[in-house]
Amino acid sequence: MTLLQVDELDCRYGLLQAVRGVSFGVAQGEIVALIGANGAGKTTLLRAIAGAHRPYAGRVRFDGVDVTRLPAHRRVSLGVALVPEGRRLFPSLTVEENLRVAAVKNRRGQWNVESVLDAFPLLQPRRNMPAANLSGGEQQAVAIGRALMSNPSLMLLDEVSLGLAPIVVEAVYTSLKSVINEGATVVLVEQDLTRALRVAGRVICMLEGRVVLQGDSKSLDRERVVDAYFGLRRSAAGEASP
């Protein structure tokens, strides 16, 4: 069953067109990695799906409902949760308070403060600590946990590993596995190609606002993915060029 369907989506910032005619679907329980270089349009696309950026044209359907013109808070109540780039926590609130503020009363599910802390054990000893005093990895874990508190059907994760040390990224992804193993539907923006190919079942590569490659992560040739990522094309001799 298709949970998310994006059709011919265009997004603009004034005269700048950031997303150009993007179409794709995401099935229930699928993990999709959205990859591409800086400025490819990935973050804008996620924001448009979440309702944080109104598209210029096109349509977004979620669980069979056209949500293109619905505000972000309505999409949250339907089951869409965004973990934004930069985390955007409430710095003066504690870890637990940051989690509780995101709970949605009319959405039932397995996620509450205790289950989130169980999924992200690095947060257990930080439960009563202000978010401003957390490390980058701990803040990222809180941001993911905060999204889970709405018991979403679809999670949109933007740049999970950005700015984090490799060992911290590994810890965050280890905790995230428990979320994925529960059958969550996830669209993940990730610049680490190796990790993206390992975590996701399907990869969508964007370049200059367009989808230039998509397919099953196990069947896609890494060289082909890298070429699409950087906008390269191969000659008959196998040499890459812009």
The alpha carbon dihedral of 116, 163, 203, 207 has a sign of positive
Number of domains in the chain: 1
Per-residue pLDDT of the chain (242 residues; tens, 9 = 90+): 899 999 999 999 999 999 999 999 999 999 999 999 989 999 999 999 999 999 999 999 999 999 999 999 999 999 999 998 878 899 999 999 999 999 887 788 889 999 999 999 999 999 999 999 999 999 999 999 999 999 999 999 998 888 788 888 888 888 888 788 777 899 999 888 888 888 899 999 999 999 999 999 988 888 899 899 888 764 344 445 56
Question: Which amino acid belongs to residue 32?
Answer: V
Q: Residue 25: which domain range? A: 2-241
Give the CATH number of the domain where residue 207 resides. 3.40.50.300
Strands laid side by side in the 31-35 sheet: 80-83, 154-158, 185-189, 31-35, 202-207, 210-216
Instruction: Burial-class residue 26 by CB neighbours within 10 Å (0-12, 13-18, 19+).
Output: buried
Instruction: Burial-class residue 136 by CB neighbours within 10 Å (0-12, 13-18, 19+).
Output: middle
Quick one: which H or E segment has residue 34?
strand 31-35
pTM above 0.85, yes or no: yes
- The helix/strand/coil state of 137 is helix
